[in-house]
Amino acid sequence: MEKIFQDGITASCPLPITEHSTVQLGHGSGGKMMNDLISRLFLWAFDNPVLNQMDDHAALDISGTKLAFSTDSFVVDPLFFPGGDIGDLAVNGTINDIAMSGAKPLFLSAGFILEEGFSLTDLKRIVVSMQRAAKEAGVVIVTGDTKVVDKGKGDKVFINTAGIGLIEHNFSISAQAIQPGDAVILSGTLADHGIAILSQREGLSFETTVKSDTAALHSLVSEMLSAGGTAVHALRDPTRGGLAATLNEFAASAGVGIRLDEQRIPVTPAVAGACEMLGIDPLHVANEGKLVAIVAREKAESVLKAMRQNPLGQHSVIIGDVITDSPGMVSMQTKLGAWRIVDMLVGEQLPRIC
């Protein structure tokens, strides 16, 4: 711990940033290594109350207008996969980060990093997919940027989207609002996106094609808020790191325990089969069109009912509850009746999933 800069910036640095001296794939995993890098480098350097909330969006007040602001870069490989492509993923992903604040997504930016030699036909296909996703979601892509890097210094195309949404409600939807007794609701089947990417990448084929669940969830959220109001305590889309990462973050932030019932967690037979074959836990696999909601118990059934009326939430279920015991820990009763701890992954299981 030492001051290394002399320009008024607090620079007592918690070095080493991690136990590694170089970037590892695990630093992009959504798991412990990524959290470590974020808190020990980015939060340390950029330290401010908004960022320190560690939400996937920033809640801002500009001249009395309450906005949600978020960004995501997309580096998924392959670019095209069953159910979607990097284009609709980039639009839906940022919409979802904004939607999880309860905001209405309005505007997106789009930044492209193109590799020299990348097919313009593929680029067009991706851009048309973004156009369609934006139109479907009712958001407008209002500003952008294009950079080109020399061949071998990128990988076809990376897309960054940032988005702005309008927060129209007057309460805070955040991990801090989670209370013991709350219900944990999942909006549908787990692990579809990650397994779709992995199957495509590895050339695996199953009896049924597993499709990515990429979708914009803001309408679902809006209907949940109409049904549940302030009873909707926390919302998040379990992308990288999967449901396990999201719930562990919730448990840690709120200082509560979370208890799941494996039997109630929906996984399609094709995904369950793929996970078993590959030795992957569906709780750790990325989703791109699902959300987890933590809702006050007395409103849980009405929120669930509203969710099931939306095609994107038709398989919604209560999968567990929030408890006072074992704060910071997520546990699950397995189908066989035993209890296990659901931990966050340390490093990378499936790189470049989004």
Window 52-111: residues binding a copy of itself (CB under 8 A): 56-58, 60, 62-65, 67, 69-75, 77, 106-107, 109-111
Kindly report each contact of residues 341-345 with a partner whose C-beta sits within 8 Å and lies 24 or more positions away, as own/partner: 342/244, 342/247, 342/248, 342/260, 342/283, 343/244, 343/248, 344/31, 344/32, 344/35, 344/241, 344/244, 344/245, 344/248, 344/249, 345/29, 345/30, 345/31, 345/32, 345/241, 345/244, 345/245, 345/284
Task: Answer yes or no whether residue 277 interacts with a copy of itself by CB under 8 A.
Answer: no
Binding mask 289-328 for a copy of itself (x = CB under 8 A): ----------------------------------------
**Whole-number minimum distance, CB 145 to a copy of itself, in Å?**
5
- 10 DSSP assignment: -
Task: Answer yes or no whether residue 21 interacts with a copy of itself by CB under 8 A.
Answer: yes
Task: Answer yes or no whether residue 169 interacts with a copy of itself by CB under 8 A.
Answer: no
- Which amino acid is present at 89? L
Task: Answer yes or no whether residue 172 interacts with a copy of itself by CB under 8 A.
Answer: no
Of 138, 144, 181, 311, which lies in the binding site for a copy of itself, with binding defined by CB under 8 A? 144
Task: Answer yes or no whether residue 121 interacts with a copy of itself by CB under 8 A.
Answer: yes
Structural contact between residues 303 and 221, judged by C-beta atoms closer than 8 angstroms: no
Torsion angles phi and psi, residue 229, rounded to 5: 55, -135
Give 16 or 203: the residue with its C-beta nearer to a copy of itself: 16
Of 90, 113, 260, 294, which lies in the binding site for a copy of itself, with binding defined by CB under 8 A? 113
Strand order in the sheet with 317-323: 232-236, 292-295, 183-186, 317-323, 257-261, 330-333, 339-341
Residues between 333 and 352 with contacts to a copy of itself, criterion CB under 8 A: 348, 351-352
Report d(CA 285, CA 298) in Å as an integer.
30
Structural contact between residues 94 and 163, judged by C-beta atoms closer than 8 angstroms: yes
Task: Answer yes or no whether residue 23 interacts with a copy of itself by CB under 8 A.
Answer: yes
Task: Answer yes or no whether residue 239 interacts with a copy of itself by CB under 8 A.
Answer: no
Task: Answer yes or no whether residue 142 interacts with a copy of itself by CB under 8 A.
Answer: yes
Of 36, 115, 261, 343, which lies in the binding site for a copy of itself, with binding defined by CB under 8 A? 115
Give 35 or 189: the residue with its C-beta nearer to a copy of itself: 35
User: How many residues in the shown chain lie near a copy of itself by CB under 8 A?
Assistant: 94
Give 125 or 308: the residue with its C-beta nearer to a copy of itself: 125
Angle at 94 between CA 303 and CA 51, to 5 degrees: 90
Residues between 182 and 201 with contacts to a copy of itself, criterion CB under 8 A: none
Nearest partner of 1 among 16, 17, 12, judged by Cα: 12
Task: Answer yes or no whether residue 11 interacts with a copy of itself by CB under 8 A.
Answer: yes
